[in-house]
Chain A
Amino acid sequence: GAVVSQHPSRVICKSGTSVKIECRSLDFQATTMFWYRQFPKKSLMLMATSNEGSKATYEQGVEKDKFLINHASLTLSTLTVTSAHPEDSSFYICSATPRGGGGYTFGSGTRLTVV
């Protein structure tokens, strides 16, 4: 089945630094990838939709200059959290679906802790 690889799985960074999270579709091409954030005991919150070769579409309230998304190829999307602050500490999850549609396949998630 479709596999989405996400790295790193866990990262601790200092306040003010930037962190890049990678999401790769391993055995299919994903023209669209989605980035979610999940706080403890809360549901998934869609942050942005990443489209290959074009600018990402951000959900209301998500700062596009803070959460930089790049989808340079059909198999790779990256999320960079810039100038991270402790309130950015969360579980970040990417997802993608094959071109034929169907349910999402999620990456394994990245636990970001900003200290």
Chain B
Amino acid sequence: QKEVEQNSGPLSVPEGAIASLNCTYSDRGSQSFFWYRQYSGKSPELIMSIYSNGDKEDGRFTAQLNKASQYVSLLIRDSQPSDSATYLCAVNRLDAGNMLTFGGGTRLMVKP
């Protein structure tokens, strides 16, 4: 079992819809969770971080964390074609220093 798992997609949603991206992780010691967006040919950029159970909202993005289920998700409201990218989930253990473990990424396609 991979440490951080994501459906590779592609996930296709129409413009204006809600895109739901999911991530599961195997290490119960994980304490920090991050979502990165990566456009083709570019390096990843951090869009959300979440550290405690529940929801965290930032503009059109909402991260959801459920440590009991070892599940973290990212919701994108009012999806735009410019949101089309690969979304990477990453987790970190406190005792792992600054090392993040990345999932394989989910490719999102928002169709006009």
Which A residues form the contact surface with B (CB < 8 A)?
Answer: 6, 32, 34, 43-44, 46, 49, 91, 93, 97, 101-109, 111
* Chain B residue nearest to A30 in the complex (CB): B98
CA gap between A86 and B47 in the complex, in Å: 34
The answer to whether A44 touches B88 (Cβ under 8 A) is yes
- Chain A residues near B34: list those with CB within 8 A: 103-104
A106-B98 in contact (CB<8A): no
**Which residues of the partner chain B approach A44 to less than 8 Å between Cβ atoms?**
44, 88, 102
Question: Which A residues touch B99, using CB under 8 A?
Answer: 32, 34, 49
A-B contacts, CB under 8 A, total: 47
**Residue pair B98, A43 in contact (C-beta under 8 Å):** no
Is residue B1 within 8 Å, beta carbon to beta carbon, of the partner chain? no
User: Is B103 touching A97 in the complex (CB atoms < 8 A)?
Assistant: no
**Interface contact B43-A43, CB-CB below 8 Å:** no
Please indicate which of the listed interface residues B45, B98, B102 has the most CB atoms of chain A within 10 Å of its own CB. B98
A6 to B102, CA, bound (A): 21
Q: Is B43 within 8 A of A101, CB to CB?
A: no
**8 Å CB contact of A101 from B42, B46, B98:** B98
Do the beta carbons of A103 and B90 come within 8 Å of each other?
yes
The A-contacting residues of B in range 5-50, CB under 8 angstroms, are 32, 34, 36, 41-46, 49
